[in-house]
Structure 1
Amino acid sequence: MKTILIIDDEKDMAGLLQDTLEGRGYNVLTAYDGTTGIALARKQPDLIILDIMMPGMDGFEVCRQIRDVVLCPILFLSAKQYEQDRIKSLAIGGDDYIGKPFSLLELLAKIEAHLRREERAMLLNAHSARRLLHFKSATIDLQSRQLLIGTKAIPLTKKEFDIAEFLALHPGQVFSKDQMYEKIWGYDADGDASTVAEHVKNIRAKLAEADPDAAYISTVWGIGYKWEKS
C-alpha cells in the first residue's frame, strides 16, 4: 500500500484529501504544520502533498529541510499563482505545482502519474544492474551507454539511446508514445509525445543500416512500440 503525506494547515482541505485518497486505497499521513510534517516525512512516504502558505514554517522551508533525506515526489499546493513561486517550488526540489482552487480529479491523476513514474524508475534501476543486454546481433552496454551490432557501435544521440535502453530493458512490453515521452523527457517537459516517433524512426534507420535483416523495435498499431525479445 502506498503512503501519502499531506502537509496543509487547512484542516478541511486536508481532511477531504485524506478521505479521498484513503478511498482510493492509499495510506495517508496528515500534518497541519511544517514541524510535524518534517517529523512525519522521516517515515519515508511514497509521495508528499505540501501546501506553501502555512503559518510559521512555510512549504518552501519544509521542502528544503526534507529534500536531502526524502526522495519521493513532492507536489506543491498553493493559492499563489505567481510564476516565480512555481519556479521556486521546482528549483528547491518540488516535482509539481498545483494552484488552488484545483480539480480533485486532476490532482488524483497527477498523484497516480508520479507514483507510476517512481515505480518505473525503481524497475529500471533494478534492471540496470545488468551491464550487458543481448538481442540477435545487438548488444546494449548499459555502463558505457553504447549499442553495438556485432562489434560496430551505432551512433545514437542521448535521447535515442535512452529510448533504446528503456525499451530493451522491458522486451516484449508495449509502451505508448505518451508513456515513453513521460519517462525519457520527464513529466514537466515542454514538448509533446510526437517527438518519440521521430526518434524511433531514427533509431530504426541506424539499426537497419547495420543489420538490415533484423527488426528490433516493432510498432503495435494504435498503441505504441515494443522491443522484440528475439
Structure 2
Amino acid sequence: MAKTKILFADDDPEIREVIRLLLASEGYEVVEAENGDEAVAKMDPSVDLIILDVMMPGRSGIAACAEIRKNSTAPILFLTAKSQDSDKAMGFSAGADDYLAKPFSYAELTARVKAILRRYQVYRGKGEAAQEAGAVALPGLSIRADRNEVRHNGEPVALTDLEYRILLLLAQNRRRTFSAQEIYERIWQEPYYYSGNNTIMVHIRNLRKKLEDDSRNPRYIKNVWGKGYCIE
C-alpha cells in the first residue's frame, strides 16, 4: 500500500529537515520544496496533503495555494508566524483548509495533520468512516453522501473538503438558515473568530461558481439577509 504523501514547502532548510524527519517518523512520504514556485512545480495528483509556509521569497504560500487550487482539491495547511484573524481569512480565501500559527509543538502539528488527512480520506471515500447517508436531490443537482459525490446537470463537480461539507450541511437541512458563525463552528469545529464571516462568504462564493449557472443569481444557496445562508 502506497504511503500517504505530503508536500511541504518552507524556505528555511533547517525547518524543512526537522519537519521531514518528524513526518517520516509517522510513516508519511515527504516531498520538500524551498519556495512557492517549487511547491507548485512538485504538486501532482499523488499528493494527499500540502503544508505551506506563508512567508516565502518569490511566490508566497498564499499565492502557491491559489495556484494549486486551480487543479487540486487536496487539503492545504498553512504554517505561519502570523496569527491575526485577517491573515487567517486571507489563507482560507486562497483555498486553505487549516492554519497553524508558529510557534507550535510537534505534537500539535502531527495531530493536525492526522485530523486533516482523516477528514480528507473520508471525503475521498478512502477511509472506513465513509458512511451510507443517502442522496440529496435538487433540480439539476445531486449529492450522494454515501459516495461523497456531487453532480451538476449530470456532470461531477470537484469540490474541496470544506466546500463539500458546507454544501452537505445546507443540503441535508433544507430551508433551515445557518448563520456564518454556525457554519464556521460546525465545519471547522473551533470557536468562531471576527473575520470568520468573510471566510464563509469566500467559500459560498466558490460553491456558487462551481454549482450555479449564474452565480450572481443563485438557484441553490440563498442569502437570508441578516441571518445567513440556506438551501430552499
Same topology, TM > 0.5: yes
Residue 185 (1) aligns with residue 182 (2):
no
Partner of 2:206: none
1:161: Cα distance to partner? Answer: 7.9
1:57: Cα distance to partner? Answer: 1.2
- Is contact 1:5–1:28 with CA below 8 Å preserved after alignment? yes
Gaps of 5+ in 1: 134-139, 146-157, 164-183, 192-230
1:44: Cα distance to partner? Answer: 3.7
% identity of equivalent residues: 32
- Is contact 1:44–1:70 with CA below 8 Å preserved after alignment? no
Matching residue's letter, 2:8: I
Partner of 1:144: 137
Query: Which one of 13, 16, 31 corresponds to residue 14 of structure 1?
Result: 16
Q: Relative to structure 1, is the Cα distance of residues 144 and 74 closer, same or farther in structure 2, using a 3 angstrom cutoff?
A: same
Matches of 2:26 and 2:37 in 1, distance apart?
A: 27
Partner of 2:42: 40
Matching residue's letter, 1:69: N
| Equivalent position SS for 2:64 | helix
Partner of 1:178: none
Question: Bigger radius of gyration, 1 or 2?
Answer: 1
Q: Relative to structure 1, is the Cα distance of residues 32 and 159 closer, same or farther in structure 2, using a 3 angstrom cutoff?
A: closer
- Is contact 1:34–1:62 with CA below 8 Å preserved after alignment? yes
| Equivalent position SS for 1:144 | strand
1:188: Cα distance to partner? Answer: 4.2
Matching residue's letter, 1:118: Y
Matches of 2:10 and 2:126 in 1, distance apart?
A: 33
Partner of 1:87: 89
1:141: Cα distance to partner? Answer: 5.3
Gaps of 5+ in 2: 139-167, 174-184, 193-232
1:124: Cα distance to partner? Answer: 8.8
Q: What is the TM-score of this pair, normalised by structure 2?
A: 0.57
Query: Which one of 20, 25, 28 corresponds to residue 27 of structure 2?
Result: 25
Matching residue's letter, 2:186: W
- Is contact 1:79–1:100 with CA below 8 Å preserved after alignment? yes
Matching residue's letter, 2:12: E
Matches of 2:126 and 2:41 in 1, distance apart?
A: 30
- Count of residues in correspondence between the two structures: 150
Matches of 2:188 and 2:114 in 1, distance apart?
A: 12
Query: Which one of 57, 60, 63 corresponds to residue 59 of structure 2?
Result: 57
Matches of 2:89 and 2:37 in 1, distance apart?
A: 24
Q: How does 1:201-212 map to 2 (within 5 A)?
A: none
Partner of 1:195: none
Matches of 1:7 and 1:64 in 2, distance apart?
A: 14
Matching residue's letter, 1:41: M
Matching residue's letter, 1:104: Y
- Is contact 2:40–2:67 with CA below 8 Å preserved after alignment? yes
Matches of 2:34 and 2:84 in 1, distance apart?
A: 24
Matching residue's letter, 1:82: Q
1:122: Cα distance to partner? Answer: 2.0
Q: Relative to structure 1, is the Cα distance of residues 36 and 115 closer, same or farther in structure 2, using a 3 angstrom cutoff?
A: same
Matches of 2:109 and 2:190 in 1, distance apart?
A: 18
Q: Relative to structure 1, is the Cα distance of residues 141 and 3 closer, same or farther in structure 2, using a 3 angstrom cutoff?
A: closer
Partner of 2:142: none
Q: Relative to structure 1, is the Cα distance of residues 62 and 121 closer, same or farther in structure 2, using a 3 angstrom cutoff?
A: same
Partner of 2:203: none
| Equivalent position SS for 1:120 | helix
Q: What is the TM-score of this pair, normalised by structure 1?
A: 0.57
**1:96-134, CA deviations, whole angstroms, 9 ceiling, x for partnerless residues?**
111111111111101000111011112299x99xxxx8x
Partner of 2:75: 73
| Equivalent position SS for 2:90 | helix
- Is contact 1:50–1:74 with CA below 8 Å preserved after alignment? yes
